[in-house]
């Protein structure tokens, strides 16, 4: 499976060939180093371990450093295992770069959303709230969370105030708009969870179904209607 570790640089926008403004997220993808190999005979499954980001020796434990010393590899800050098929061949020390993806590919991007601390129900769950007039005594409170006679307890799974954000989120089927292999950059259409410099995991989309020719023709026809000036020039 094609996958790579990276970090979010920020958001920008580009103008497509059709003349549309496209919001994009700039991701620094790799380079990642293959730091370990897993196989069926020894581990019961086939996978590779990749490392991303430089780290000083004084910031890692001896146990963490032992694996790199054993394989005579430079230290990496973040490690991640990726399941691969037995037909895919990788070697220790091999570099994985942004050019494993091409323009038009669909990818899933996983990151950690921005933490917003403790939040009330109206902010976290978009509650409407109570009357705004004086004397209602019910403005931004959570209200009833369980009847007193039955069940005499709070219903499980009830939406309550609490910590907001700081969760692992995966955005599916983002389109790769541009790839700059020289600078290890990938531009994907749309937003990616997390703030700038946040770690992200980019993989080939697992649930994407390519559109049929009929759907592609309909999309092209719709684009032609939106760009009458461009079509007139042709």
Domain limits, the chain: 3-116+168-233, 117-164
pLDDT computed for residue 25 by the predictor: 92
Mean pLDDT by 10 residues, the chain (234 residues): 90 87 90 88 88 88 87 88 85 87 90 93 90 86 80 85 93 91 91 91 87 72 62 51
In this structure, CATH architecture of domain 3-116+168-233:
Beta Barrel (2.40)
Whole-number CA gyration radius for the chain: 24
DSSP for residue 215: H
Residue 51 sits at φ, ψ, to 5 deg, of -120, 145
For residue 106, what are the β-bridge partners?
175
pLDDT computed for residue 181 by the predictor: 87
Beta strand extents in 164-224 (DSSP E only): 168-180, 185-189, 199-204
Q: Which of 106, 111, 110, 108 is nearest to 175 (CA)?
A: 106
pLDDT computed for residue 230 by the predictor: 53
pLDDT computed for residue 223 by the predictor: 65
């Amino acid at each position: 499976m094609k996958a790579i570790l990276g970090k979010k640089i920020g958001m920008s926008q580009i103008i497509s060939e059709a003349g549309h403004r496209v919001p994009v997220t700039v991701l620094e993808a790799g380079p990642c180093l293959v730091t370990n190999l897993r196989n069926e005979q020894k581990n019961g499954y086939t996978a590779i371990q990749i490392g991303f980001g430089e780290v000083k020796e004084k910031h890692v434990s001896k146990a963490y450093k032992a694996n790199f010393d054993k394989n005579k590899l430079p230290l990496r800050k973040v490690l991640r295992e990726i399941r691969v098929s037995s037909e895919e061949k990788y070697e220790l020390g091999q570099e994985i770069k942004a050019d494993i993806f091409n323009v038009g590919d669909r990818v899933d991007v996983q990151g950690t959303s921005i933490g917003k601390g403790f939040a009330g129900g109206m902010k976290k769950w978009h509650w409407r709230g109570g009357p705004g007039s004086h004397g209602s005594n019910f403005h931004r409170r959570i209200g009833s969370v369980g009847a007193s006679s039955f069940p005499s307890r709070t219903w499980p799974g009830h939406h309550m105030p609490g910590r907001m954000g700081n969760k692992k989120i995966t955005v599916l089927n983002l389109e790769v708009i541009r790839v700059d292999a020289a600078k290890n950059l990938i531009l994907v259409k749309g937003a990616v969870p997390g703030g700038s410099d946040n770690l992200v995991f980019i993989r080939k989309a697992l649930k994407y179904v390519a559109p049929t020719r009929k759907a592609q023709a309909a999309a092209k026809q719709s684009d032609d209607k939106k760009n009458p000036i461009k079509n007139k020039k042709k």
